[in-house]
């Protein structure tokens, strides 16, 4: 199928078209500062807390046995992938994004996100395009899946 280009119009999009792949590596430094590195807002009065995302010693005893990024950071990466094709207005003007982590996205991992158009429709005069997105790490392990809807221009 066709790979979507920047500012793809609703009329030019077909079911099966693909988003350009988005590759990103994760580092402990990025996980330690989500407000800086992934657009995750940080409350002014928030105090750093030990958790599975920023404390390797604490995380060793946890579910994953090592630090892992927060799902909201991965959602921000998927959002960056969408913004490589669609304007922010297309995403925030009735769009949506859901993400489900399948396996941890750890320090040193490199994940490639790919996405495909699963549907397009017109509802109440708005054009909607739906995507299925998945992230696969360097070992071939699925890190997570997302569903996204954007509202592109005509």
Q: Is residue 3 part of a domain?
A: no
Please state, in angstroms and rounded to a whole number, the distance separating the CA atoms of residues 24 and 45.
30
The domain of 130 spans 10-42+51-150
Give pLDDT tens digits for 25-74. 998 888 877 655 544 445 555 666 677 777 788 878 877 888 888 888 88
The answer as to whether 81 is a domain residue is yes
3 state SS of 76: helix
On whether residue 92 sits in a domain, the answer given is yes
Taking residues 146-151, report their average pLDDT.
96
| Residues 69-80, mean pLDDT to the nearest whole number | 88
pLDDT tens string 15-25? 999 999 999 99
- Structural domain total, the chain: 1
List, in order, residues 6 or more apart from 67 with CB less than 8 Å away. 28, 31, 52, 53, 54, 55, 56, 59, 106, 107
The CATH number covering residue 104 comes to: 3.10.129.10
Question: Would you state the structure tokens that stand for residue 124, as one six-digit string?
Answer: 């109440």
Q: What is the pLDDT of residues 97-143, one digit of tens each?
A: 999 999 999 889 999 999 999 999 999 999 999 999 999 999 999 99
């Amino acid at each position: 199928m066709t790979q979507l280009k920047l500012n793809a119009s609703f009329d030019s999009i077909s079911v099966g078209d693909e988003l350009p792949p988005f590759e990103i590596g994760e580092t402990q430094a990025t996980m330690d500062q989500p407000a800086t590195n992934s657009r995750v807002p940080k409350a002014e009065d928030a105090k750093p807390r030990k958790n599975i995302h920023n404390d390797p010693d604490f995380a060793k005893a946890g579910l994953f046995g090592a630090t892992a990024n927060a799902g909201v950071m991965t959602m921000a990466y998927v959002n960056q992938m969408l913004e490589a094709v669609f304007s922010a207005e297309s995403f925030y003007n009735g769009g949506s994004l859901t993400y489900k982590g399948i396996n941890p996205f750890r320090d040193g991992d490199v994940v490639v996100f790919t996405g495909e158009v699963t549907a397009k429709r017109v509802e109440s005069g708005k054009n909607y395009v739906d995507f299925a997105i998945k992230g696969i790490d360097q070992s071939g392990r699925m890190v997570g899946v997302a569903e996204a809807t954007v509202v592109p221009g005509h």
